[in-house]
Chain A
Amino acid sequence: MSVKNKETIAAETEADMRQPEEASRRLEVLKTYKIFIGGKFPRTESGRYYVAQDEAGHKLANVCLSSRKDFREAVVAARTAFGDWGSRAAFNRGQILYRIAEMLEGRKLQFIDELVKQGAGQAAAGQEVEQSIDRLIYYAGWCDKFQQLFSSVNPVATSHFNFSVPEPTGVVSILAPQDSALLGLVSVIAPVIAGGNTCVVLGSYSKPLSAVTFAEVLSTSDVPGGVVNILTGKMEELAPYFADHMDVNALVYCGDDMEMKKLLQQKAALNLKRVVFYDHVDWMSANGQSPYLIADSQEIKTTWHPIENIGGAKAGY
């Protein structure tokens, strides 16, 4: 009897699928585009939102208009996550970045679809998504290799073994590129987390869909909660807090607004943040990726290790 039941159901389902007018009557379930803090997807605490539109002015989605308090919460999450992430084996960080790329590959069509909705051509969107995946792989490889590149053993005149190594700076706040919704975002996040930092990122205001969907990729790819936190909202409103928060150690700004740069530098001076500007970078080009981008959010720690005699040299005293 149960067999017969199954057959009946299968036949009915098939019948449903053969009737397109029947299917089109179904109300589509739309995604709520929420922000990403500490591995969770809350709405902004402010309850505000704005309407993201395509180039023709059609509504794409209601998107969270994040407030400074969302940023504050995100910094707390990033700071909490830093201890674990920064002290993980570099190789493990590489594995996780590779995993992000895998997850992104699996969602390729969704990202292309969103980029097209946000105004990109079909071919360009496909290229952008592929480039983003490749970029993650690129930095996954660098995770346990950039240290050798930027480390040095320094000649000194005393009987010390003196060496310098890069270490993660800490929490990095990132004002991501406004025009390159996915590739730009990936290109600034990847080197920061590859280096063991955690970050709070503000996605593109006019093209926010990719940033939120990328957060979904992150949450399913073994990235510990809080390592990457993604907000959506107005740069003019949030940038001052990104720059002057005392628990943030570095700031990345992608843009060429001189007034903004001046403001950020002034505010960041409060606790001597490392300030990095990426203006006029073509993220599609080879200039969009480099181990030097990892070095931008690293601190160099120099150790003086006392020894009795190195390389046959006599102590100087």
Chain B
Amino acid sequence: MVDTNGAAMPLLMRTPRIDQVGVVERAARITKRSIKKETKVNGLLLTLNMIDLTTLEGKDSEGKVKQMCYKAKHLLDTYPGLPTVAAVCVYPAMVHTAKKAVEGTGIRVASVATGFPSGQASHEVKISETKFAVEQGADEVDMVISRGKFLAGEYNFVFDEIAAIKEACGNARLKVILETGELVTFDKVRRASDIAMYAGADFIKTSTGKVTPAATLPVTLVMLEAIRDFHYDTGRMVGMKPAGGISKSKLALHYLVMLNEVLGEEWMNNQWFRFGASSLANDVLMQLMKEKTGVYQGKDYFSLD
């Protein structure tokens, strides 16, 4: 057992095996719920408030980041009473720009770090990138785990790395990206979730959005159950962030149903649950306008994100 800043590596033999068929079936049943009218509207408003509006492209420029931050602040001005999104998520080099753009709005700035998206960088580079992002004003850091090491069975390495990044984060909250698309099996997802949480993650996150498959309902279910078990064992709450591939409101509502069923109401806010997405916001806005006006909406009438 390794000791890092008081965090202790979990006993991995106690990590349960996942019933893949059962998980897929249960996730599928959740999509059968029908959510309509006021419940739907409330769910959509909550969804908006949980979005980490994201731009993580090689072609990102200051202008693009400013535009996205403006979108985060003014989702749809013709619809009074809308919440803002939870955070904007950018590369470390853009944190300063984003921080200035959302100042005074309550919108947080999240930054990816640790050699996103591959995580193939040296330890020193990862630590200094994390520190740089926090110094620039990031409220949250989204790190990627070393999947190569994890798949090679070097769990202690992964654990130590997460713990070290957590320390480098200081007061910023740490989201740990497992990149479930590269872990392949639910057993490995569950194991990686346990390692991340015991190493001090404030959030566990499915994907970078650069690998297919990204977030899916079944993999999210596995991670939510890991969070639930961790909470039973330690009394500490950990947040969840599915990211990548969630672009439709209906799907977002399915995620909320699942969240409510597995973790309960305590987790139903943006302190403990986020959607990593870019095009989801506009789809939610279109659905909200549809509920308000009764008319199906077209994307021509919504600002770009």
Interface residues of A (CB under 8 A from B): 72, 75, 79, 241, 244-248, 270-271
Chain A, interface SS category? helix
Cα distance A138–B300 in the bound complex, in angstroms: 34
A-B contact pairs, 10 of them (CB 8 A): A241-B296, A244-B295, A245-B295, A245-B298, A246-B296, A246-B298, A247-B298, A247-B300, A271-B298, A271-B300
Does chain A have a CB within 8 A of B232? Answer: no
Residues of A within 8 A of B298 (CB): 79, 245-248, 271
A to B contact number (C-beta, < 8 Å): 25
Residues of B within 8 A of A244 (CB): 295-296
Residues of B within 8 A of A246 (CB): 295-298, 300-301
**Which 7 pairs across A and B sit closest by C-beta, in order of nearness?**
A247-B298, A246-B298, A245-B296, A244-B295, A246-B297, A72-B296, A246-B295
The residue of chain B having its C-beta at the shortest distance from the C-beta of A76 within the complex is B296
A271 touching B296 by the CB < 8 A rule?
Answer: no
Residues of A within 8 A of B300 (CB): 246-247, 271
With A246-B301, A271-B301 known as contacts, the answer to whether A75 contacts B296 (CB < 8 A) is yes
Of A72, A79, A244, A247, most B-chain CB atoms within 10 Å: A247
Cα distance A270–B296 in the bound complex, in angstroms: 11
Cα distance A248–B298 in the bound complex, in angstroms: 8
Residues of A within 8 A of B295 (CB): 244-246, 270
Name the distance in Å between A112's Cβ and chain B's nearest Cβ.
Answer: 38
Cα distance A68–B298 in the bound complex, in angstroms: 15
Cα distance A271–B302 in the bound complex, in angstroms: 13
Name the distance in Å between A168's Cβ and chain B's nearest Cβ.
Answer: 15
Residues of B within 8 A of A248 (CB): 298
Cα distance A271–B298 in the bound complex, in angstroms: 10
Residues of B within 8 A of A245 (CB): 295-296, 298
The residue of chain B having its C-beta at the shortest distance from the C-beta of A68 within the complex is B296
Does chain A have a CB within 8 A of B299? Answer: yes
Of A244, A246, A247, A271, most B-chain CB atoms within 10 Å: A246
Interface residues of B in 253-302 (CB under 8 A from A): 295-301
Name the distance in Å between B203's Cβ and chain A's nearest Cβ.
Answer: 33
Cα distance A75–B290 in the bound complex, in angstroms: 15
Cα distance A244–B296 in the bound complex, in angstroms: 7
Cα distance A244–B289 in the bound complex, in angstroms: 13
The residue of chain B having its C-beta at the shortest distance from the C-beta of A243 within the complex is B295
